[in-house]
Chain A
Amino acid sequence: MQGASRTALATEAPGHPAVLASAEALDDLDELTIVARAQNGDVHAFEWLLSTHEGGVFRLAFRMLDDYAEAEDIVQETFIAARRGLPDLAAPQAFTPWLYRAATNKCFNNLRSRRRHPAAPDSFDDEPVPGGSHGASAVGEAELRNQWDARGGGICQDPALRYEAEAQMQALACLVRAVPAGPRACWLLRDVHEFSYTEIAAIVRLPESTVRGRIARTRRILAEGMEPWR
């Protein structure tokens, strides 16, 4: 409202469920249309994008930083920056890599900040991190899983098989933590988040050949590390 004498009319209309729900469901639309609407300031469209991508951004940040609270901070900072930057996004079809680029950069900045405060060192490009980036990290993830399992959310299957599968996933998560941050991001984006090599090259701003090399070396490290489980 611009002044005390002015009366606002239907200020919330764009985001009012009664208005939009009566016309169409966003789930029926293509993502390009939803991104365009979010660029145009449609809160409903932005909320749809948030619902669709918040989990993926969180999981990337969690595997990069190995810290639940810091991963939540990355999600919050990434989406607030994305909403502000959306009107300037020239290629709406590149929204998802653009979003993950912002998140990946924020993770790198967070890790660089850790390196300046060496209580929690994390290798960036070359040297593997012995035993993972944080000593307590495996415990943190295990605790999260135990909380979920205690609520009855676990997958129901043979306990011995389930234990072995869980142990293998924990071992892989531990190995991933020991990979330097740059290659780790490339591997996560390819093998976990399933971006193409071209998209990853755009996300991390590196030549595609470098990205391919980093991912191949990371796969080799991880495959060798998983040998005892075969």
Chain B
Amino acid sequence: MAMNEGQPRLGCGRIIDDVWESIDRPASIHERTCRDCQSARAALEHLEAVTRSMRDRDRSDPALRPSRRVRAAILMVARAEIRRSRRVPLGTTPRGTIDISEQALTGLIRFAASTLPGVRARRCTIAGTREPQTSPAGPPSTAAVDGEDVRITLTVALSSQVRIPATVTLLRERVGTIVQAQTGITMQQIDIGVEDLYDV
């Protein structure tokens, strides 16, 4: 059969797509009397049944999954690349500077946020208060962050059951407290963006 761009039609003039779209419904008056439609419908119903069987079988078939080696290779590359993120200095000792990776800090901030019921932390960016504002969705800055001058921007989804102003205030306090306790960093500014509400 030629694979031209026009929709294939049955002898009665109907397009195959229309027969397929109505395959889950009882046959129409036309379909009950039209031999072309009856034949097409029976053929498509059979195809749909075998396709469904193949789809369900393939999904549960361990032979049709990539090996663990592939997964390990992907994660190894991902972890190696993420480790190259910026670092935030925490303090200086006689043996050198202690710092924390930006990824570790954003992980801690997401953790702090998730300790509040009804809060799902999404993206977090870290910058100095003197750096230009960047969107959490935008490309990360490459400049080093001054540990004395940290501003974070955190986007969250909130449960539709919580009061937004009170939760945002609590969230700001919780993030500031946990980050200060775990790293010694006192954040100068914590911007919270509520970008979504979810139903419980």
Interfacial residues, chain A to chain B (CB-CB below 8 A):
1-16, 19-20, 22-24, 29-30, 32-33, 36-37, 39-43, 46-47, 50, 54-55, 58-59, 62, 71-72, 75-76, 79-80, 83-84, 87-88, 90, 125-128, 144-145, 147-148, 153, 155, 165, 168-169, 172-173, 180, 183, 191-192, 210, 212-217, 219-224, 226-227, 229-230
Contacts and interface: CB of A to CB of B under 8 A. Distances in A.
The 10 A-B pairs at the shortest CB distance, nearest first, are namely A14-B107, A5-B96, A36-B122, A223-B43, A13-B104, A23-B114, A144-B63, A40-B123, A223-B47, A216-B16
Contact of B120 (A29, A41, A128, A215): A29
Interface of B: 1-3, 5-8, 15-17, 20, 40, 42-44, 46-48, 50-51, 53-55, 57-59, 61-67, 70-71, 73-75, 77-79, 81-83, 85, 87, 90, 93, 95-101, 103-104, 106-108, 110-111, 114-115, 120-124, 136-137, 139-140, 155, 157, 183, 196, 198
A43 B83 CA distance: 10
Q: Is the interface of A mostly helix, strand, loop or mixed?
A: helix
Contact of A40 (B5, B73, B106, B115): B106
B162 to A, nearest CB: 15
Contacts of A13: 103-104, 107-108
Nearest to A222: B47
Contacts of A230: 42-43, 46
A75 B96 contact: no
B79 to A, nearest CB: 6
B157 to A, nearest CB: 6
B75 A191 contact: no
A147 B67 CA distance: 15
